[in-house]
């Protein structure tokens, strides 16, 4: 009998001890089924202690799955420790729904045995001929369909032993590159540097820096091709969820001749199970996925890529808060492999790591081909004024008119994801607020919705406070903008692309096709159209609200706005025709606009870094946020004050707060924030501090290490 210490994917502070009938050999890092309370759960054997302090251990049963690699197990442990989460939380990220997925049973197919049926009929002959001609196993239904007979005929032949049943296995990816570009000298140098680290099996972080269209994707594709040729190992490409499009997969398939395994939060169940097992068994050679793909049980990881590494969607903001980009670095370090962070507008963290020599910079100097950078101009909204409750300035309208006359396309961009207008009563000024949160409801079609708790109700006909029927959606929503466009240009062909109107890949593909075929003159959209697409006839990009986001005053507001606007600007003039970008702003003096205009990203970054350094903020200092919440405000405040008094004093360590969170009430819970600022990673210290300070039952503490959002 062996004592095994098992990490279970539950919210528990420690691993649990069980007894296993088998010997200890080969048991470490295997999946087991164990009882917890009345439930059976799946867990991972993470330790083999000599003995257990508990007697009467319950029994663990080994599951029929190979052990995860030691580096994978270490990774789960590392992330949990760093993010101050329970060990089970990172395991849960690796086990969809908390269980080792059911293996996918392959379909049964049929092959001829050579034996003839006792009585040959026409239909039987058709089946046997079809099967022999095809040469590969076909399912009962497919074989019947091709032979033009009923499935019962196939079944009958199998029963007589004329056909034999075999599992239909997926064809393994065969590398058959179709479109292999010849890399430029800079691309080649970059690809070679990464490939050398890969071949030498050394952990090396690279920052692949180049404007949109400079050929970054081709660089990591080249390394990937090398990886596939060189070993049976695996590669992981992380992309922001929104970028995982059918177009991207098509491009991959064109380049490599097969489809990679895909992983994200809304993948279909069958595909999810299949990919999970293929990764564990080392059969999935290339996985492309959103941040959660990091937790897949890779058997032999050789290359990690984080595309658009600055993208804020890499940070998981719900429980088990982790930063996918940072954890990708850790994953690569444990796997002794290179990691490539690619971006046209790197995060200041990565930029600074490069400046300080921790990351190797790979720079691609220009756009591939002859495409020119667009001309960027600011429209000062204090001078070129929009009409009342209108959002398009005369300057922008004139530019749109000019493109319409030339038969060129325009993109109008509204900053901020899912931005939607508020509803306000014109009679009395009444605003519609969420009953459970300190937040206004926003207009989505015919409904009012709270973005924080999901509360939703039908938009009323009249104001609940003064009965006036004149309720008015206020703020630049996409619908508002398209109305305004059509008012000015009734004959323009315009469409909207936002969360409400584009809900599937098919919707998006439709918009893209219409743009490509020139069936649209003006596209109005939110973040979902900011990246990735290439429309040769698009020559004008207008940003309606370039200041949006700056006002938030959060640490990364300027950085984020710069990154987003650079990305949007990159949509203009991607082909021969020169592009123009017009940014509507009340704030044209802001240094970020000067940087956008002259494409002087580095100067802007230098300025930002300087101000961060002064305040001791990331990337120079570390932040750890504590969000205290509870139904009774007094209790939450008292707890916060108590924690503050107990906070250890040390050099380079500071506690800010407790202060009410910017959204001070969500789902009827009061929220207060504490922020730890430290010169070094502070997880050990914070852990100790929290463990030695009792917290009342009515208060919940959420910890956010390296917070990105401060609401």
Provide the binding-site residues for ligand ADP, judged by CB under 6 A.
Answer: 181-184, 187, 210, 212-218, 368
- Considering the complex, what minimum distance in angstroms separates the CB of residue 467 from Zn ion? 7
Contact 10, 36 (CB under 8 A): yes
SS3 category, 491: coil
φ and ψ at 345, to 5 degrees? -135, 75
Q: Scanning the structure block, which residue is given the tokens 């398009």?
A: 392
Q: Which two tokens stand for residue 62?
A: 């080994």
- By a kind-dependent CB cut-off of 5 to 8 A, residue 331 interacts, out of ligand ADP, Zn ion, none, with none
- By a kind-dependent CB cut-off of 5 to 8 A, residue 496 interacts, out of Zn ion, ligand ADP, none, with none
Tell which residue, 276, 254, 278, has the closest CA to residue 264: 276
- Considering the complex, what minimum distance in angstroms separates the CB of residue 347 from ligand ADP? 17
**430 sits near Zn ion (criterion: CB under 5 A):** yes
**416 sits near Zn ion (criterion: CB under 5 A):** no
- Considering the complex, what minimum distance in angstroms separates the CB of residue 224 from ligand ADP? 12
- By a kind-dependent CB cut-off of 5 to 8 A, residue 437 interacts, out of Zn ion, ligand ADP, none, with Zn ion
Q: Which is nearer to ligand ADP, 215 or 260 (CB)?
A: 215
- Using alpha carbons only, what angle is made at residue 272 by residues 270 and 274, rounded to the nearest 5 degrees? 70
- By a kind-dependent CB cut-off of 5 to 8 A, residue 452 interacts, out of Zn ion, ligand ADP, none, with Zn ion
- By a kind-dependent CB cut-off of 5 to 8 A, residue 466 interacts, out of Zn ion, ligand ADP, none, with Zn ion
**451 sits near Zn ion (criterion: CB under 5 A):** no
**468 sits near Zn ion (criterion: CB under 5 A):** yes
Q: Which two tokens stand for residue 410?
A: 């325009």
**450 sits near Zn ion (criterion: CB under 5 A):** yes
Please give the Cα distance from 474 to 486 (Å, whole number).
19
Binds Zn ion (CB under 5 A): choice among 163, 304, 412, 437: 437
Segment interacting with Zn ion (CB under 5 A) among 459-467, 521-529, 543-551, 671-679: 459-467
Q: Which two tokens stand for residue 361?
A: 């910079």
Q: Is the dihedral of CA 358, 294, 244, 708 positive or negative?
A: negative
- Helix or strand (DSSP H, E) at 186: helix 185-199
**411 sits near Zn ion (criterion: CB under 5 A):** no
Q: Which two tokens stand for residue 477?
A: 């929503």
Please give the Cα distance from 540 to 537 (Å, whole number).
9
- Considering the complex, what minimum distance in angstroms separates the CB of residue 374 from Zn ion? 40
The per-residue DSSP string of 627-666 comes to EEEES-HHHHHHHHHHHHHHPPP-TTEEEEEEEEEEEEEE
- Helix or strand (DSSP H, E) at 624: strand 622-630
**195 sits near Zn ion (criterion: CB under 5 A):** no
**448 sits near Zn ion (criterion: CB under 5 A):** no
Q: Which is nearer to ligand ADP, 248 or 314 (CB)?
A: 248
Contact 5, 77 (CB under 8 A): no
DSSP 533: -
SS3 category, 163: strand
**453 sits near Zn ion (criterion: CB under 5 A):** yes
Q: Which is nearer to ligand ADP, 153 or 195 (CB)?
A: 195
Q: Which is nearer to Zn ion, 265 or 456 (CB)?
A: 456
Segment interacting with Zn ion (CB under 5 A) among 380-388, 427-435, 526-534, 676-684: 427-435
Q: Is the dihedral of CA 452, 455, 457, 463 positive or negative?
A: negative
Q: Scanning the structure block, which residue is given the tokens 């069980």?
A: 18
- Helix or strand (DSSP H, E) at 542: strand 538-543
**425 sits near Zn ion (criterion: CB under 5 A):** yes
- By a kind-dependent CB cut-off of 5 to 8 A, residue 453 interacts, out of Zn ion, ligand ADP, none, with Zn ion
* CA distances for 323 relative to 77, 432, 460, 679, angstroms: 15, 34, 41, 19
- Considering the complex, what minimum distance in angstroms separates the CB of residue 185 from ligand ADP? 10
- Considering the complex, what minimum distance in angstroms separates the CB of residue 210 from ligand ADP? 5
- Considering the complex, what minimum distance in angstroms separates the CB of residue 471 from Zn ion? 8
Q: Which is nearer to ligand ADP, 340 or 442 (CB)?
A: 340
Q: Scanning the structure block, which residue is given the tokens 């490409």?
A: 237
Please give the Cα distance from 220 to 400 (Å, whole number).
38
- Considering the complex, what minimum distance in angstroms separates the CB of residue 456 from ligand ADP? 38
Q: Scanning the structure block, which residue is given the tokens 């009395």?
A: 428
- Considering the complex, what minimum distance in angstroms separates the CB of residue 361 from ligand ADP? 15
Tell which residue, 478, 490, 497, 484, has the closest CA to residue 571: 497
Q: Which is nearer to ligand ADP, 239 or 550 (CB)?
A: 239
- By a kind-dependent CB cut-off of 5 to 8 A, residue 215 interacts, out of ligand ADP, Zn ion, none, with ligand ADP
- By a kind-dependent CB cut-off of 5 to 8 A, residue 183 interacts, out of ligand ADP, Zn ion, none, with ligand ADP
- Considering the complex, what minimum distance in angstroms separates the CB of residue 368 from ligand ADP? 4
φ and ψ at 147, to 5 degrees? -85, -10
- Considering the complex, what minimum distance in angstroms separates the CB of residue 160 from ligand ADP? 55
Binds Zn ion (CB under 5 A): choice among 175, 398, 428, 486: 428
Q: 700 - beta bridge partners? A: 629
**455 sits near Zn ion (criterion: CB under 5 A):** yes
- By a kind-dependent CB cut-off of 5 to 8 A, residue 449 interacts, out of Zn ion, ligand ADP, none, with none
* CA distances for 163 relative to 111, 157, 353, 663, angstroms: 5, 6, 63, 67
Q: Which is nearer to ligand ADP, 88 or 213 (CB)?
A: 213
Please give the Cα distance from 367 to 434 (Å, whole number).
47
- By a kind-dependent CB cut-off of 5 to 8 A, residue 187 interacts, out of Zn ion, ligand ADP, none, with ligand ADP
Contact set with Zn ion (CB under 5 A): 425, 427-428, 430, 434, 436-437, 450, 452-453, 455, 463, 465-466, 468
């Amino acid at each position: 009998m062996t004592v095994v210490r098992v990490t279970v994917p539950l919210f528990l502070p420690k691993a649990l001890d069980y007894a296993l009938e088998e010997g200890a050999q080969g048991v470490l890092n295997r999946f087991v089924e164990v009882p917890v309370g009345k439930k059976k759960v799946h867990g991972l054997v993470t330790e083999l202690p000599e003995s257990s302090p508990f007697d009467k251990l319950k029994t663990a049963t080994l599951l029929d799955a190979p052990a995860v690699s030691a580096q994978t197990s270490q990774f789960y442990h590392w992330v949990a420790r760093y993010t101050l989460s329970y060990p089970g939380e990172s395991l849960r990220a690796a086990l969809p729904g908390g269980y080792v997925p059911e293996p996918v049973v392959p379909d049964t197919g049929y092959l001829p045995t050579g034996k003839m049926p006792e009585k040959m009929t026409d239909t039987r002959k058709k089946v046997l001929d079809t099967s022999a001609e095809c040469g590969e196993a076909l399912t009962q239904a497919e074989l019947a369909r091709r032979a033009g007979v009923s499935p019962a005929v196939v079944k009958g032949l199998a029963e007589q032993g004329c056909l034999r049943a075999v599992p239909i296995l997926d064809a393994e990816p065969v590398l058959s590159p179709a479109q292999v570009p010849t890399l430029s000298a800079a691309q080649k140098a970059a690809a070679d540097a990464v490939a050398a680290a890969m071949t030498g099996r050394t952990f090396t972080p690279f920052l692949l820096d180049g404007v949109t269209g400079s050929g970054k994707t081709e660089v990591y594709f080249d390394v990937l091709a090398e990886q596939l040729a060189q070993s049976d190992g695996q590669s992981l490409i992380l992309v922001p969820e929104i970028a995982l499009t059918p177009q991207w997969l098509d491009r991959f398939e064109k380049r490599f001749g097969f489809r990679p395994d895909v992983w994200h939060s809304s993948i279909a169940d069958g595909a999810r199970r299949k990919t999970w097992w293929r990764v564990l068994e080392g059969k999935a050679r290339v996985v492309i996925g959103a941040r959660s793909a990091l937790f897949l049980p890779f058997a032999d990881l050789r290359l990690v890529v984080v595309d658009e590494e600055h993208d804020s969607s890499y940070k998981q903001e719900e429980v088990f808060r982790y930063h996918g980009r940072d954890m990708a670095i850790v994953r690569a370090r444990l796997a002794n492999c290179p990691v490539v962070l690619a971006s046209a507008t790197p995060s200041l963290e990565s930029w600074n790591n490069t400046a300080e020599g921790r990351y190797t910079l790979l720079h691609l100097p220009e756009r591939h081909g002859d495409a020119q950078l667009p001309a960027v101009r600011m429209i000062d909204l204090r001078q070129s004024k929009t009409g009342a409750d209108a959002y398009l300035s005369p300057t922008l309208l004139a530019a749109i008119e000019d493109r319409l006359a030339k038969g060129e396309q325009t993109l109008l961009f509204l900053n901020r994801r899912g931005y939607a207008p508020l509803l306000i009563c014109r009679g009395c000024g009444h605003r519609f607020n969420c009953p459970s949160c300190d937040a206004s409801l926003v207009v989505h079609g015919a409904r009012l919705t709270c973005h924080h708790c999901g509360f939703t109700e039908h938009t009323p006909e009249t104001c609940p406070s003064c009965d006036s029927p004149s309720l008015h959606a206020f703020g630049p929503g996409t619908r508002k903008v398209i109305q305004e466009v059509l008012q000015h240009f009734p004959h323009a062909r315009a469409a909207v692309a936002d969360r409400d109107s584009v809900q599937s890949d098919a919707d998006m593909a439709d918009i893209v096709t219409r743009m490509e075929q020139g069936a649209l003159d003006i596209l109005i959209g939110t973040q979902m159209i900011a990246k990735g697409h290439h429309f040769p006839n698009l020559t004008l990009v207008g940003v309606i609200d370039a200041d949006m986001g700056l006002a938030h005053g959060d640490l990364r507001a300027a950085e984020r706005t710069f990154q987003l606007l650079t990305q949007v600007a990159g949509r203009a003039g991607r082909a021969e025709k020169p592009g123009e970008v017009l940014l509507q702003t009340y704030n044209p003096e802001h240094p970020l606009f000067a940087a956008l205009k002259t494409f002087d990203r580095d100067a802007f970054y230098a300025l930002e870094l300087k101000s961060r350094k002064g305040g001791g903020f990331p990337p120079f200092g570390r932040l750890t946020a504590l969000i205290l919440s509870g139904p009774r405000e007094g209790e939450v405040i008292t707890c916060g004050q108590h924690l503050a008094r107990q906070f250890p004093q040390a050099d380079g360590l500071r506690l800010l707060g407790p202060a009410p969170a910017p959204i001070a009430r969500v789902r009827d819970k009061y929220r207060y924030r504490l922020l730890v600022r430290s010169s070094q990673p502070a997880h050990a210290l914070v852990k100790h501090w929290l463990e030695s300070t009792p917290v009342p039952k009515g208060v919940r503490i959420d910890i956010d290490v390296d917070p990105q959002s401060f609401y």
